[in-house]
Amino acid sequence: MTINQKPARALAALKLPRKIGDLINLAQVILKAMTGNPNFPNPQPTVAAMTTGLNELVAAEAGALVRTKGAVALRNSKKLALVTLLEEWRTCVQSTADANPENGPGIIQSSGATLRKNPQRKNLGFHAKMGTVPGTVKVVAPAAARRASYDWQYSIDGGKTWVDMPTTLQSRTSVTGMTSLSTVQFRYRSVIKTGAGEWSQPISFLVM
């Protein structure tokens, strides 16, 4: 198997909604994904800072809804502050993914960010993506050889224990019944005529 090819750069996208309620919901999803995320032991801004920014916007929005004097201006100020934090967070996610390009897509998706498609290079390497059915995750690995099989495992406890998935003859598989907003790790190994290879480095994926 050829592994000299440099993996394409994975890009973290942040689509900020205009509506306050949608922005609050997005920030809540991101905070849940970042809390205890092993890919980001020391994120900047911190989870605590982002939580404070979110809570302040929620409180300011409540005041604006009941038309408290000066509440709209305060709400707009808190919205801008949270947006600034989220933009800084996206930069942190991108830097972390750039430092580990082979696992960049999984790192980005584990953070709650959106993985931006790169039109120049279609090969994402070993990666996971959501299936069409809720709770279904599709996992794709580079093909090892013309004739090969693939062993798969996933972990829901940060890699402490691994669950076997059915072996496949293609370098792709899927798993169902995953819990929404949970982070799942996947790994695989290829089996060719000379025997089984080593398990791959695991990738993390946030189930949406």
In this prediction, residue 110 has a pLDDT band, given cuts at 50, 70 and 90, of very high
Residues 106 and 161 in one domain: no
Tell me whether residue 129 is exposed, middle or buried, using C-beta atoms within 10 angstroms of its C-beta: 0 to 12, 13 to 18, 19 or more: middle
| Residue 15 is assigned to a structural domain of this protein | yes
pLDDT at 160: 95
Angle at Cα 131 formed by Cα 130 and Cα 136, nearest 5°? 90
Q: Does residue 120 register a pLDDT over 60?
A: no
> Rounded to the nearest 5 degrees, what angle is found at the Cα of 73, between the Cα atoms of 72 and 79?
85
Q: Are residues 102 and 135 in the same domain?
A: no
- Please give the average per-residue pLDDT across 77-90, as a whole number: 96
Structural domains in the chain (count): 2
Domain end point (choices 83, 110, 137)? 110
For residues 99 and 138, state if they share a domain.
no
**pLDDT per position as a tens digit, 29-78:** 999 999 999 999 999 999 999 999 999 999 999 999 998 889 999 999 99
Whether the predicted pLDDT of 108 surpasses 50: yes
* Residue 136 shares a structural domain with residue 181: yes
State the Cα–Cα distance between residues 157 and 173, nearest whole angstrom: 21
Give pLDDT, residue 8.
78
Strand intervals (E) in the chain: 11-13, 114-116, 127-130, 137-140, 149-155, 163-168, 172-175, 183-192, 195-196, 203-206
Q: Which residues pair with 138 in a beta bridge?
A: 129, 174
Question: CATH code at 190?
Answer: 2.60.40.10
101 and 21 in a common domain? yes
Asked if the model's pLDDT at residue 6 lies above 90, the reply is: no
* Interacting residues of 160 by C-beta distance below 8 A, sequence separation 6+: none
Domain that holds residue 76: 11-110
Claim to verify: residue 17 and residue 97 sit in the same structural domain: yes
pLDDT digits (tens, 9 = 90+) for 139-190: 999 999 889 999 999 999 999 999 999 999 999 999 999 999 999 999 999 9
Examine the pLDDT at 121 and tell me if it is beyond 80. no
Examine the fold and report which residue of 79, 110, 141 is the final residue of a domain before the chain moves on.
110
| pLDDT score at 9 | 87
Is 47 a domain residue? yes
